[in-house]
């Protein structure tokens, strides 16, 4: 097998991956950088981010205030050194994107406009209408085109990290055009593959968000950190799960129950609609339990009312909200309230890294939603994730570049051999496999239902124990999977099978981590352990792979200047 040699190989072409590629390319013109992605970069899930990117840009703001909001929002589980780095570098990244041409919305005086967002104590969310992720992604993609030393491998699916002599020295990937397995050797491998929302039934996440990078790292021996913390966004469209951006509340929208009341006054009167996402999602679930929700063909929902903003503001600031609501639920938000309900949106947990994106496996790095730095702790604040991709994408690109300039070229022979073994596994398990009694889709559907039922907004010891057993049972069924498609050309069924394998692995870490955290903190709400328990659980959970299921370890949270306190709004 031919081995493709690069200095750095980045997996994933979303905001974090592209930002890392540009940072590495700028660090030295001697570096050869590969960007491997299972979709064309502009199809990455960053494209769906709507509301904006948070940074202390305004005169009334400061990095310290941004840090405090982030840490309080995290329910004090964020690593404060990582948060301090994040808030310090965030404004520079927003300005950097402006220099690269990002079409930020502007204030009348020409400065980058900022808007209010949940859990943020001042207006600090920079935006490009309500398609911020789309514009940010395209700007990064366009910028990356200017560097000849970035080689793209579009529509390549990475199946294995190649570890040799205790260091990650490359990866095996399938070229979807012909299903050939390629060996890509590198001195540094950076995972930027986004989240895992698709392990749940009802999610804002695109079909591609299947936890691939997390599963790759996990199998290579790197722990997954804080996997119990899954964010529900309070406002998704029933049925499709399409996101109604938090900016609709940032611009002044109301949440209303079937009594016609802004019910948040009973939950978080100090912040109302601008409260953090975990608290608002729980409030809606409680309204549903009280019978204060509307009934619809796709379950119960509450109303997001933006009518009072007026058509002009809606068209200027929230045009995509109007378009999506009209298209997918047949409602014009200028004249009618929008039906919404909580929906899985974001993974706070991920590949355990330090504040430069390094994992404990030499040569392996991660950034963005795939990674857990951790700056989001138990609950991420809206508009911090795009900025996280920029700040930590840039950091990890720079760090990997420095390390790669000093590292030796990995030996091609053992790597090619590892890749050939991987090719044999893929052939015998999928492409050349005969028989099998299980289709992919029913296993995936059962997994999604299991996760929703067992590890949703509210969890109990019992629901989680059941979910652990069910996920393991589904993994057994997956061994008996059958393939319709044995084509070498564009075999999307093979991709679906490999994605399902990844989903099953990361799902197990979610339910086991959630079972072992017997407290309620941020997005993780246990009915049987309703209080936060700093004495036992002011800790990061680390899930290590073992054949019989993950082994849990715990690590301290970095506290610098903000001692844990009651989370009050």
Q: Candidates 200-208, 306-314, 357-365, 504-512 — which segment interacts with other proteins by CB under 8 A?
A: 200-208
233 is catalytic: yes
Structure tokens, 517: 């955290």
What is the chain's alpha carbon radius of gyration, rounded to the nearest angstrom? 23
* Minimum CB distance to other proteins smaller for 71 or for 97: 97
- Per-residue contact string for residues 138-157; x = within reach of other proteins by CB under 8 A: x---xx-xx-----------
- Which residues 169-188 are close enough to bind other proteins by CB under 8 A? 177
* Minimum CB distance to other proteins smaller for 140 or for 283: 140
* Minimum CB distance to other proteins smaller for 83 or for 318: 318
Q: Do 213 and 353 form a contact (C-beta atoms < 8 A)?
A: no
- Per-residue contact string for residues 106-125; x = within reach of other proteins by CB under 8 A: xxxxxxx-------------
Count the site residues for other proteins by CB under 8 A.
Answer: 79
**Structure-token match 């209408």, residue found:** 129
Catalytic pick from 233, 303, 444, 524?
233
157 Cβ neighbours under 8 A, 6+ residues apart: 38, 173, 174, 176, 495, 498
- Which residues 40-59 are close enough to bind other proteins by CB under 8 A? 40, 42-45, 47-48
For strands 254-256 and 299-305, give the pairing.
antiparallel
> Which one, of 425, 448, 465, 436, lies nearest residue 504 by Cα?
448
Q: Shortest gap between Cβ of 428 and other proteins (angstroms)?
A: 15
- From 26, 151, 164, 206, residue interacting with other proteins (rule: CB under 8 A): 206
Q: Candidates 24-32, 126-134, 180-188, 391-399 — which segment interacts with other proteins by CB under 8 A?
A: 126-134
Q: Shortest gap between Cβ of 399 and other proteins (angstroms)?
A: 25
Q: Shortest gap between Cβ of 133 and other proteins (angstroms)?
A: 9
Q: Do 483 and 338 form a contact (C-beta atoms < 8 A)?
A: no
Compute the distance between CA of residue 444 and CA of residue 496 in angstroms, rounded to an integer: 10
* Minimum CB distance to other proteins smaller for 72 or for 341: 341
Q: Shortest gap between Cβ of 474 and other proteins (angstroms)?
A: 14
HSE value, Cβ hemisphere, 13 Å, CA-based, for 345: 29
* Minimum CB distance to other proteins smaller for 489 or for 530: 489
Q: In a 3-state reduction of DSSP, which class is residue 288?
A: helix
Compute the distance between CA of residue 202 and CA of residue 508 in angstroms, rounded to an integer: 18
Q: How far is CA 460 from the centre of its chain?
A: 24
- Which residues 232-251 are close enough to bind other proteins by CB under 8 A? 238-242
- Which residues 477-516 are close enough to bind other proteins by CB under 8 A? 482-493, 496
The CA distances from residue 8 to 94, 180, 195, 422, 543, in Å, are 25, 21, 22, 21, 27
* Minimum CB distance to other proteins smaller for 109 or for 566: 109
Q: Shortest gap between Cβ of 567 and other proteins (angstroms)?
A: 29
Catalytic pick from 124, 138, 249, 529?
249
Write the Ramachandran bin of 451: left for phi over 0, alpha for psi from -120 to 50, otherwise beta: alpha
The CA distances from residue 234 to 93, 192, 316, 329, 532, in Å, are 28, 26, 23, 17, 22
- Per-residue contact string for residues 435-454; x = within reach of other proteins by CB under 8 A: xxx-xxxx-xx--xx--x--
- From 27, 201, 255, 285, residue interacting with other proteins (rule: CB under 8 A): 201
- Which residues 380-439 are close enough to bind other proteins by CB under 8 A? 434-437, 439
Q: Shortest gap between Cβ of 42 and other proteins (angstroms)?
A: 6
177 is catalytic: no
Compute the distance between CA of residue 412 and CA of residue 64 in angstroms, rounded to an integer: 47
Q: Shortest gap between Cβ of 479 and other proteins (angstroms)?
A: 15
- Which residues 261-320 are close enough to bind other proteins by CB under 8 A? 297-299, 320
Work out the number of other CB atoms within 10 angstroms of the CB of residue 268.
18
The set of catalytic residues is: 233, 249
């Amino acid at each position: 097998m031919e081995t493709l040699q690069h200095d750095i190989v980045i997996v994933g072409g979303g905001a974090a991956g592209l930002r890392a590629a540009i940072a590495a390319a700028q660090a030295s013109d001697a570096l050869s950088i590969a960007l491997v992605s299972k979709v064309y970069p502009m199809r990455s899930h960053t494209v769906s981010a709507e509301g904006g990117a948070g940074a202390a840009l305004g005169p009334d703001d400061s990095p310290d205030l941004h840090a405090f909001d982030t840490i309080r929002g995290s329910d004090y589980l964020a690593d404060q050194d990582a948060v301090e780095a994040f808030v310090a570098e965030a404004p520079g990244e927003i300005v950097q994107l402006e220099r690269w041409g990002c079409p930020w919305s502007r204030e009348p005086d020409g400065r980058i406009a900022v808007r209010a967002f949940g859990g943020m104590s001042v207006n600090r969310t920079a935006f490009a209408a309500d398609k911020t992720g789309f514009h940010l992604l395209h700007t990064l993609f366009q910028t990356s085109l200017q560097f000849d030393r970035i080689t793209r491998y579009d529509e390549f699916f990475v199946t294995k990290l190649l570890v040799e002599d205790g260091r990650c020295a490359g990866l095996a990937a399938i070229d979807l055009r012909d299903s050939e397995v390629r060996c890509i050797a590198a001195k540094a491998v950076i995972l930027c593959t986004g989240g895992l929302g698709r392990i749940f039934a009802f999610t804002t996440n695109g079909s591609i968000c299947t936890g691939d990078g997390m599963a790759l790292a996990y199998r290579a021996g790197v722990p997954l950190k804080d996997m119990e913390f899954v964010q529900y966004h309070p406002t998704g469209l029933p049925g499709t799960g399409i996101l109604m951006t938090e900016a609709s509340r940032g611009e002044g929208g109301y949440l209303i129950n079937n009594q016609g009341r802004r019910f948040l006054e009973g939950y978080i009167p100090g912040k109302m609609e601008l409260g953090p996402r975990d608290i608002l999602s729980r409030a809606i679930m409680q309204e549903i339990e009280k019978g204060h929700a509307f009934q619809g063909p796709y379950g119960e929902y509450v109303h997001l009312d933006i009518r009072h903003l007026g058509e002009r503001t809606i068209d200027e600031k929230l045009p995509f909200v109007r378009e999506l609501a009209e298209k997918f639920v047949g409602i014009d938000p200028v004249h009618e309230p929008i039906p919404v309900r909580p929906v899985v949106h974001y993974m706070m947990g991920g590949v355990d890294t330090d504040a430069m994106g390094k994992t404990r496996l030499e040569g392996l790095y991660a950034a963005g939603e795939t990674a857990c730095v951790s700056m989001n702790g138990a609950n991420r604040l809206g508009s911090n994730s795009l900025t996280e991709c920029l700040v930590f994408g840039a950091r990890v690109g720079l760090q990997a570049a420095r390390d790669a300039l000093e590292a030796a070229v990995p030996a091609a022979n053992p790597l090619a051999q590892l890749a050939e073994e991987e090719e044999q596994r893929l052939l015998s398990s999928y492409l050349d496999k005969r028989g099998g009694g299980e289709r992919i889709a029913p296993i995936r559907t059962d997994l999604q239902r299991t996760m929703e039922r067992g590890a949703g907004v509210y969890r109990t010891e019992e629901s989680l124990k059941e979910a652990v057993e069910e996920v393991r049972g589904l993994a057994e069924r997956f061994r008996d999977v059958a393939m319709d498609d044995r084509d070498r050309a564009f075999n999307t069924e093979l991709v679906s099978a490999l994605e399902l394998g990844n989903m099953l692995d990361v799902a197990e870490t979610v339910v086991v981590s959630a079972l072992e955290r017997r407290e309620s903190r941020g997005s993780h709400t246990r009915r049987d352990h309703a209080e936060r328990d700093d004495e036992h659980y002011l800790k990061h959970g680390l899930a290590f792979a073992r054949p019989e299921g993950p082994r849990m370890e715990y690590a301290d949270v970095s506290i610098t200047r903000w001692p844990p306190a009651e989370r009050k709004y």
